[in-house]
Amino acid sequence: MAAFTVPSTTASTKTTAAARTASRQRQGGGGENRDAGQNSFHEKTHEFFQMCDVENKGFITRRDMQRLNGELPLSAEELENVFDSLDSDGNGFLTLDEFSSGFSQFLFGQKVSVEEDMGDHNPGKSSPEVLYQTQWEESLTGGDDGEEEKHFCMLMESLGANSVFEDPAEVRGLWAQLRRDEPHLLSNFEDFLSRVTSQIREANQDKKEMESALERKAATHDDEIRRLYEEMEQQIKNEKDRIVLQDYERFLSLSQDLELQLSGKEKELEHLFQKQRGLERQCKDLHSEQHVTKVENVKLKQTNDELARELDQTSQELSLAQEQLGFLQEQSTRLHEEKEMEIYRLTEGLQRERSSLLKQLDLMREMNKHLRDERDICYQNPKNHNTSPGYKQRPSIGAVKQMNTNIFNSRDEEELTSSSVRPI
């Protein structure tokens, strides 16, 4: 695995490290202190690795890294960022060598020589970190808690880490412990804090950008869902209106067809009434001509027989018309159940027509009975009459035959009309 990498530090941080290195060289024994610090750091690194690898697997995962949450002044999210920085190959775990080499290069890599070169090229450059290092070296032997707090605040302010760590007290405790026990590791620790702070700020910035992008995406998604929902509602409304319009047009067409059929039936019934009145007039004429001759009586008997047959046929036609009317009434009732109030007036009209037809049929029965009575009277009172009255009866017989033909034609028309009404 590649060594632990972090974002590059600023020129001021490098100047601070160079000043600290020069100060340690002036004090002497800098190389020995570095070797001792490296050994101590390797031991500390191994100790941290053992804390994470409690199962002795020989490697640690992202979840194992969270066991350092109480040992280091870092939050769970910050520990995940450190793990991602160490896991440069992205295999999801760290071995002891990878863990140690990453921290070793981070704290004891080649950056010290680079910082020394930059310090030699800029001997007169001054920065807040250099001033802080000078003040810290001057007050190293003082041990005053107020000065230590002041220096720590200056360090955190120079690093911009005042609002980065969740518990700065742990960072301060670790910083104070290194300042008292291992001051040669303090500069490395400060560099470590600088890199971690930079990484945490970058991670927070990435997190904010990702949250903002997610919020924008969620808002866009909500707008799209709302638009689709509105379009779906509009389509449903349009389809519903179309279906209602089609049903209304179909109902209107059926109503008009039924009205036309009823009008045709009314005309046919009126024609039958006219035929019935003609028959009544013929019967009256027969009653007034009782004094015809025997020859004419024979002819009248024959004529009466023909009229009787025609009346029977008329009765049959009337029965058929009544059946057709009953069929129309059933259709009207069915249509009334389906359409309810829409055809209420049509149903009432049919009922009135039915009552009128029944009354008219009763009247026709009475007229038929009257004709039979007249025929019986003619049979019982045969008398001789002149030929002239008999001659007058001939047009009435022709009218009866013509009326019979019209009745048959009317019955055919009723059958055709009933056949066209049945599919409805």
| Residue 236 counted as domain residue | no
> β-strands 59-61, 93-95: how paired?
antiparallel
Per-residue pLDDT, 296 = 79
Q: Based on the domain organization, do 115 and 253 belong to the same domain? A: no
Per-residue pLDDT, 232 = 92
CA–CA gap between residue 127 and residue 20 (Å, rounded): 13
Helix (H/G/I), strand (E/B), else coil: 89: coil
Which of 182, 207, 232 finishes a domain?
207
Whole-model pTM: value is 0.27
Q: Based on the domain organization, do 255 and 184 belong to the same domain? A: no
Q: Based on the domain organization, do 304 and 193 belong to the same domain? A: no
Q: Based on the domain organization, do 287 and 185 belong to the same domain? A: no
| Residue 258 counted as domain residue | yes
CA–CA gap between residue 68 and residue 49 (Å, rounded): 9
Per-residue pLDDT, 355 = 92
Helix (H/G/I), strand (E/B), else coil: 290: coil
Per-residue pLDDT, 328 = 86
| pLDDT tens per residue, range 341-381 | 777 777 788 888 899 999 999 999 999 999 999 999 998 88
Of 202-206, 207-211, 381-385, 418-422, which gets the smallest average pLDDT?
418-422
Per-residue pLDDT, 167 = 67
| pLDDT tens per residue, range 115-137 | 443 344 333 333 334 333 434 44
Return contacts of 366-374, CB within 8 angstroms, 24+ apart: 367/276, 367/279, 367/280, 367/283, 368/311, 368/315, 370/280, 370/283, 371/279, 371/283, 371/307, 371/308, 371/311, 372/308, 374/283, 374/286, 374/287
Tell me which amino acid residue 191 is: D
Q: Based on the domain organization, do 297 and 189 belong to the same domain? A: no
| Residue 343 counted as domain residue | yes
Helices 11-27/128-138 angle, 10° precision: 30
Nearest to 109 by CA among 225, 6, 246: 6
Q: Which two tokens stand for residue 30?
A: 């800098």
User: Do residues 51 and 67 make contact, with C-beta atoms less than 8 angstroms apart?
Assistant: yes
Q: Based on the domain organization, do 160 and 248 belong to the same domain? A: no
Per-residue pLDDT, 293 = 75
CATH of the domain at 16: 1.10.238.10
* Site of tokens 């009435």: 396
| Residue 6 counted as domain residue | no
| pLDDT tens per residue, range 94-117 | 888 777 776 655 444 433 333 443
Q: Based on the domain organization, do 287 and 157 belong to the same domain? A: no
Domains contained in the chain, number: 2
Nearest to 114 by CA among 15, 204, 213: 15
Q: Based on the domain organization, do 50 and 192 belong to the same domain? A: yes
| Residue 216 counted as domain residue | no
User: Do residues 16 and 132 make contact, with C-beta atoms less than 8 angstroms apart?
Assistant: yes
- Cβ within 8 Å of residue 14, ≥6 positions away: 111, 114, 115, 118, 119
Question: What count of other Cβ atoms lies within 10 Å of the Cβ of residue 168?
Answer: 17
Q: Based on the domain organization, do 185 and 272 belong to the same domain? A: no
Q: Based on the domain organization, do 180 and 295 belong to the same domain? A: no
Q: Based on the domain organization, do 254 and 193 belong to the same domain? A: no
Per-residue pLDDT, 133 = 42
| Residue 41 counted as domain residue | yes
Residue 402 has pLDDT above 70, yes or no: no
Residue 65 has pLDDT above 50, yes or no: yes
Range of the domain at 369: 242-421
Per-residue pLDDT, 339 = 74
Which of 159, 181, 207 finishes a domain?
207
User: Do residues 295 and 372 make contact, with C-beta atoms less than 8 angstroms apart?
Assistant: no
Q: What is the mean pLDDT of the chain?
A: 71
| Residue 232 counted as domain residue | no
Q: Based on the domain organization, do 199 and 246 belong to the same domain? A: no
**Confidence class for position 274, pLDDT limits 50, 70, 90:** very high
Per-residue pLDDT, 35 = 55
| Residue 226 counted as domain residue | no
